[in-house]
Amino acid sequence: MRPRIRLRFMLHSKLRGSAQKVSTTRLLKADIDDIDFSVDDMTDLPARVARMRAVEPATWVRFAGEPALHLNTYDLVKAGFRDEVNIPGHGFYEETQQPAMGWTVQSLSGKAHHTARGLQSPFFRRSLLPSYIASLFEPVAHELIDKFIDDGEADLVAEFTKQYPPRVIMRLLDLEVSADVNWSQLAWEMIQYGHNPDVAEAAIAEFDRRIGPILEERRRHPGNDLISALLAAEVDGERMSDDEVFSFVRLMFPAGSDTTLLGLGNTLLALLTHPEAMDRTVADPEHEIPWAVEEGLRWQPSVAHLPRRSVSDDIEWNGIPIPGGTMVLLSVLSANRDPAQFSDPDRFDLERHSQRTLTFGLATHHCLGEHFARAEMSIALRTLLDRLPNLRLSAPEQAPLVHGSVLRGPDRLPVTFG
């Protein structure tokens, strides 16, 4: 058992205009002994983190079987995102992702990270979104809806949200749909290195076997796809190596699929369980859909927790003693529902119009594709509401739950329409 540690937190009260010092004694072990924040399915997570935040700004919990410091407040989570010295953004991914996925923008730091972002970020600029809407988002959304629109009912998770982002990515990379390879399944298996390295390594090998010949062909005969563009990209005289392109393409599927499909599912569930918000969005989609997406991303972020690891030395950070190498959880969900930042934070409110959410992170390691994801979700939602009139839950008295602890979303959305 680890020794007792006294945590000293400095809380800043805006109402009183002065700082209050609060001390609490904790064992350096889980405050919540029966919950592991890496694997346990917490459908009550918003209420759970609200209780934790009401007691203290940070709480010791368990994550992957080890003690982890759970940051509960908006200010602490924001500080965690910005502090690349004491809680570096790349460390956890270097530990759990790099052995299988290779070096990516998530696991790189310093100059290498700056160069990688410089080579990749131009393809996710806001200015490119109109072309993506016309060539990617809208056609894929219509193709999926065409398959079930005549039925008058559907499970939007199985028949739309799970299929939409991977299809968009496949079209962006110009990869063909094939009966003998499930790109989405390979993508999911590749990120399981921390839980099942054998499965992850096998998926990587199969993915590379499939992508290798495609990459070689695009280098010889470039097309109008993202792989061809990455091979030709140059920043300060540097280009991406084949290994770097491999790593980027590997990451595109889990990073670009899971968060978007879950975020879209969460936003749809919010509208389906808030009839007034749904009616308002249907009545004025041009104005309301972007705010519905933004509020959905705040209310139920698809990535509820971002794990990081502190530096190897013992530190005192924002008044909190943190032993070297401690797991630190940036609780995006708790930050996005912090009443110090958002009034009545547990309410889904289209009039909130807040752009202070931390769903896509901040600073050096903020999400590269955040504008792409917002547009992708907005077009999907607009197309669904336009083509599926009177969209409603099949059994509103048994509304689906949001599942998960790190990645969160509904596992089903049975609806009727027409």
What's the pLDDT score for residue 3? 29
pLDDT in the model for residue 247: 79
Buried b (16+ CB within 10 A) or exposed e, 335-361: bbbbebbbeebeebbbebebeebbbbb
pLDDT surpasses 60 at 244: yes
As a whole number of angstroms, the longest Cα–Cα distance in the chain is 66
CB-CB contact of 357 with 301 (8 Å): yes
What pLDDT score was predicted for residue 34? 76
Tell me, what's the pLDDT at 159? Answer: 97
CA-to-CA dists, residue 226 to 213, 241, 406, angstroms: 16, 15, 29
Write down the pLDDT at residue 241.
80
Which pair of tokens denotes residue 101?
């996925």
Please list, in sequence order, all residues whose beta carbon lies within 8 angstroms of the beta carbon of residue 177, skipping any fewer than 6 positions away: 167, 170
Instruction: Summarize pLDDT for 79-109 with one digit per residue, the tens.
Output: 999 999 999 987 777 776 666 667 676 767 7
Q: Which residues does residue 403 pair with via DSSP β-bridges, in sequence order?
A: 409
The answer on pLDDT for 13 being more than 80 is no
φ, ψ of residue 201 to 5 degrees: the values are: -65, -40
Please tell me the least confidently modeled range out of 181-195, 197-211, 222-236, 386-400.
181-195
When comparing pLDDT for 5 and 366, which is higher?
A: 366
Q: Is 355 helix (H, G, I), strand (E, B) or coil?
A: coil
Structure tokens at 348: 């889904």
Ramachandran angles phi, psi of 21, nearest 5°:
-100, 125
CA torsion through residues 329, 332, 337, 343, sign: positive
pLDDT at 288 over 80: yes
Q: Alpha-carbon distance 216 to 172, whole Å? A: 17
pLDDT tens-digit series, residues 295-322: 999 999 999 999 999 999 999 999 999 9
pLDDT of residue 32: 61
